[in-house]
Structure 1
Amino acid sequence: MSNNSLRYSKTMVVIHWLTALLVLGAWLTAEGGREIVDNPPLLHFTLGLAVLALIVPRLILRLAGPAPEATGERGWLAIVAKAGHGLLYLLMVGLPITGWYAASRMGVTVSFAGVELPALTAVVPGRPGLIAELHENAGTFILILAGLHTLMAIWHQLVLRDGTLRRMSLR
């Protein structure tokens, strides 16, 4: 087995770690409630939309070449790992879109990289609704899921000693 089949590409590694930092940064800069109409959390919007923007090259890289061979995951553990990764991808797409939608419902202008994005829905008075609540709760859930992802990688590295962390390193 070649060294390349054991590791992700350097581009994928950079996107992975950048995405992790962006997700954490978006969570740390999150604000809620109608108050954001007067003082929109622009950094939160930028970080969240950057996660969405990174999904495109990430998916292209995943489709263009196979992932490195799994390190001994079999049976239910392999199923749980695939489901967890799938859920992380779903959240990396869904969270920015639901946030953009919720901001649109409140009449908050969303921009990314200096470009004003169109509103996804009409402005409504009062609470922004279920999608905004889902966005807020899913924001915490992605952080929990990413934490579990990290703990599993550490468990693989320290307990199973299968070199899992090496797959996502630049060395």
Structure 2
Amino acid sequence: MLYIVTALKPEAQAFVDKYRLKKNKLQNYTLFQNKNIKLIISGIGVSNARLATQTLINNFDITDDDIYLNVGICAAPKSHSIGELIEVGEIIYKDTSYLLGADKQTLTCKDEEVASEQATIVDMESYGFYDAVFHNPAIKKFHILKVVSDHFEPKKVTKEGTKSLLFNVIDDINSITFD
């Protein structure tokens, strides 16, 4: 089973459309699913991502074949193109570094929206997802993938643009996730 955590419905919509996921509820969350995928919309922020991920963990049996995926948009320095898919290998949260894998990008997870240039890629959920999956020894495979939506100009990000950005890289997400 592929378990996906997104913060926003437009991030989820590309998967819902491509894989014809059906809408359900799981406790207080919107859950989209088919026989191979369960996708939960967490809402924005570290604690929301942690709670939504933990809800998936608590409500479904974990097998060695399961993959947990946090996917969504991020802001990045201008050295990264809008629409670029980022595979996260390190998260920096509250001045602490968490290593996921070598030869991948560093992301800083913030508690508030960032509207000024930063040195690294920035999102608002990755650490919450990581914290939930890392502390569950039954989870063997997980990925954090982000798509660059802006260069620290959050007012330019739209719902349609977000869905389009994710849809454009969905095949690349699959090749990384199932590699």
| TM-score of the aligned structures, taking structure 2 as reference length | 0.24
| TM-score of the aligned structures, taking structure 1 as reference length | 0.25
